[in-house]
């Protein structure tokens, strides 16, 4: 099994292998074109060319940084503001009618806690799911393996370390419910 196949299966893989480095380089080149393209239709075409599943009525505002791009899907009428960082080593699923503020970071990659294994490149990818009608405030960070439930709101600057219930409002570091 290749390191890419291991990554896609959610198994431990070596993030330093040549195949994954090459794929990250290809993504970087396409996203560089996207980040400097002025025409919105051409930007959308570049996202699709990069492997992102995104309908025409959704928008990602440049600049955008990603690991691989083929593990991201976006539902209809969703908006991702400028400066997003999406480490899509694992699947990142963003629902419909989602609003994501500027400089939001979504991580699926999780490195080994053991220093020697981490230095050797051991990593595992855990999926992130942002369900329909979610609003994520600017600068928030969503960690690997998290699901943000339908209609939830994540406060600006929050660090989301665990699942968020549907229609809850969370904020802080670590993010916790602020509903009473």
Tell me: the pLDDT tens digits for 8-66? 999 999 999 999 999 999 999 999 999 999 999 999 999 999 999 999 999 999 999 99
pTM for this entry: 0.96
Q: Is 46 helix (H, G, I), strand (E, B) or coil?
A: helix
pLDDT at 180: 65
Instruction: Report long-range pairs for 86-92 (Cβ below 8 Å, ≥24 apart).
Output: 89/7, 89/15, 89/123, 89/125, 90/7, 90/10, 90/125, 90/126, 90/127, 90/128, 90/144, 91/127, 91/128, 92/127, 92/128, 92/129, 92/130
pLDDT at 179: 85
Q: Is the pLDDT score of 86 beyond 70?
A: yes
Given 24, 53, 103, 111, the catalytic residue: 111
CATH number at 172 reads 2.160.10.10
Give the domain extent around 85: 3-177
Q: Angle formed by the axes of helices 40-49 and 18-36, to 10°?
A: 170
Give dist(CA 78, CA 44) in Å, integer. Answer: 13
Give dist(CA 6, CA 124) in Å, integer. Answer: 9
Catalytic residue check, 44 = no
Domain count of the chain? 1
């Amino acid at each position: 099994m290749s390191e890419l196949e291991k990554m896609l299966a959610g198994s431990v893989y070596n993030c330093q292998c040549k195949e994954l480095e090459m794929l990250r380089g290809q993504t970087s080149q396409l996203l560089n074109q996207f980040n400097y393209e002025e025409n919105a239709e051409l930007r959308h075409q570049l996202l699709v060319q990069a492997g992102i599943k995104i309908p025409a009525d959704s928008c990602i505002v440049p600049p955008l940084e990603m690991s691989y791009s083929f593990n991201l899907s976006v539902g209809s009428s969703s908006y991702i503001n400028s400066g997003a960082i999406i480490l899509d080593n694992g699947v990142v699923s963003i629902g419909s009618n989602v609003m994501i503020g500027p400089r939001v970071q979504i991580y699926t990659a999780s490195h080994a806690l053991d220093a020697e294994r981490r230095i050797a490149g051991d990593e595992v990818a855990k999926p992130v799911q942002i369900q329909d009608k979610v609003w994520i405030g600017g600068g928030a960070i969503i960690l690997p393996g998290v699901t943000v439930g339908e209609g939830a709101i994540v406060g600006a600057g929050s660090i989301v370390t665990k699942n968020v219930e549907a229609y809850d409002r969370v904020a802080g570091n670590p993010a916790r419910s602020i509903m009473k």
